[in-house]
Amino acid sequence: MDGESMTQVTDHGGGVRSIRVPIPDNPLGYTLVYVLDTDRGPVLVDTGWDDPESWETLANGLAGCGTSASEIHGVVITHHHPDHHGLSGKVREASGAWVAMHEADASIVRRTRGTRPERWFTYMTDKLTAAGAPEEHVAPMRTAQPRNLPGLSPALPDREIVPGELLDLAGRRLRAIWTPGHTPGHVCLHLEEDHPAQLPGKGRLFSGDHLLPEITPHIGLYEDPDDATVMDPLGDYLASLERIGRLAPAEVLPAHQHAFTDAPSRVRELLTHHESRLTDLLSLLTTPLTPWQLAERMEWNRPWAQIPYGSRNIAVSEAEAHLRRLVKLGRAEAVTGSDPVTYVAA
Ligand SMILES: [Zn+2]
Ligand SMILES: [Zn+2]
């Protein structure tokens, strides 16, 4: 093995290593795939993006851990996104490993596999129009050629992750904690064992995208063409954050960036961030705005004019998630008879 692939592996001690599996053309850079030793063989937490280079990095990384893809006993998925679940099918093919996921995300996987791409485009077009997107933004989607989109045929999980229960792992105590918000079936996994370096706190937490050291995970609407239920993903996320803060793990092992300690203060930072964001939005809603108009006026990491096309869709979804929260809290309301619907501070 060459030095390059050696540097992709970090030993976190106590039978836990991570491999940096690259995400092509993405500012996040890589997914941290964790390799957890068990008495029946290594178990992966997430697998990485489905791409030849990512697969090769994972394979080399596993070799660096003294094992191989064919020896994997099981795969635990934090959530269905393609940078986490992308290579699960390949790992299962190579090894016969089981793949476990929370039911809410498993149902998204089933739906994605069963939905024609055209239907997604129609759904997205309708949703953006309803959110007040201008015709020049929506038009390209009507004629888009939805062929080689990534993640359109994700692997069907064959085990369910049941919140609150220990996973069936020989010789390890890994408990599933349901943390909806980033996706409806996101889970964190609590390794209920002493920290290998005796850091203070309760065990270690594989946090997926729920809790990251330096970035705020995207919280948008849960996308489902077949479900018109009004959900509150931001409310779910904030409640899940508080749950993780109370857990007080000694160390957090996230799916991007790097491991960190002091989860409660990171949780407080994120709660404060969202609270001040909601307050900022309320001050914008002194005049009625559509979700699109709100997104245009919100603060992003760059001016709206410089936000690329695809990121604008994500931004609008995030604006809508914040509006849902404000409505649920009774701090904003939809203006009766407006079309597309506008919202105003209550
Ligand atoms: Zn994600
Ligand atoms: Zn991710």
Whether residue 301 is contained in a domain is answered as no
Give the ligand with the smallest distance to the CA of 218.
1
What does the block give as tokens for 196? 């290998």
Q: What is the pLDDT of residue 170?
A: 97
Domain count, the chain: 1
Report d(CA 210, CA 208) in Å as an integer: 6
Residue 95 C-alpha from the chain's centroid: 26
C-alpha 250 to ligand 1 mean position (Å): 23
Give the ligand with the smallest distance to the CA of 314.
1
337 Ramachandran zone, left/alpha/beta (phi>0; psi -120 to 50): left
C-alpha 2 to ligand 1 mean position (Å): 30
C-alpha 150 to ligand 2 mean position (Å): 14
Whether residue 122 is contained in a domain is answered as no
Whether residue 330 is contained in a domain is answered as no
C-alpha 81 to ligand 2 mean position (Å): 7
Whether residue 252 is contained in a domain is answered as yes
Whether residue 218 is contained in a domain is answered as yes
Q: CB neighbours (10 Å) of residue 339?
A: 9
Whether residue 310 is contained in a domain is answered as no
Q: What is the pLDDT of residue 246?
A: 95
Whether residue 337 is contained in a domain is answered as no
Whether residue 276 is contained in a domain is answered as no
Q: What is the pLDDT of residue 147?
A: 57
Give the ligand with the smallest distance to the CA of 31.
2
C-alpha 297 to ligand 2 mean position (Å): 27
Report d(CA 237, CA 179) in Å as an integer: 7
C-alpha 298 to ligand 2 mean position (Å): 23
C-alpha 255 to ligand 1 mean position (Å): 9
C-alpha 137 to ligand 1 mean position (Å): 25
C-alpha 336 to ligand 1 mean position (Å): 35
Nearest alpha-carbon partner for 101 in 163, 164, 172: 163
C-alpha 79 to ligand 1 mean position (Å): 7
What is the per-residue pLDDT across 210-235, written as a single tens digit (0 to 9) for each? 999 999 999 998 877 677 677 899 99
Give the ligand with the smallest distance to the CA of 26.
2
Q: What is the pLDDT of residue 1?
A: 45
Give the ligand with the smallest distance to the CA of 215.
2
Return the SS3 of 338.
Answer: coil
Residues, beta carbon < 5 Å, ion ligand 1: 81, 209
- The enclosing domain of 240 has a CATH number of 3.60.15.10
Give the structural domain span for 50.
Answer: 3-110+150-269
Residue with tokens 């996104």: 81
Which residues in the chain come in under a pLDDT of 70? 1-6, 145-152, 225, 228
C-alpha 222 to ligand 2 mean position (Å): 16
Long-range own/partner contacts, residues 230-234 (CB < 8 A, 24 or more apart): 230/324, 231/184, 231/324, 232/321, 232/324, 232/325, 232/328, 233/180, 233/181, 233/184, 233/321, 233/324, 234/181, 234/274, 234/321, 234/322, 234/324, 234/325
What H or E segment, with its residue span, contains residue 6? helix 3-6
What does the block give as tokens for 34? 């964790």
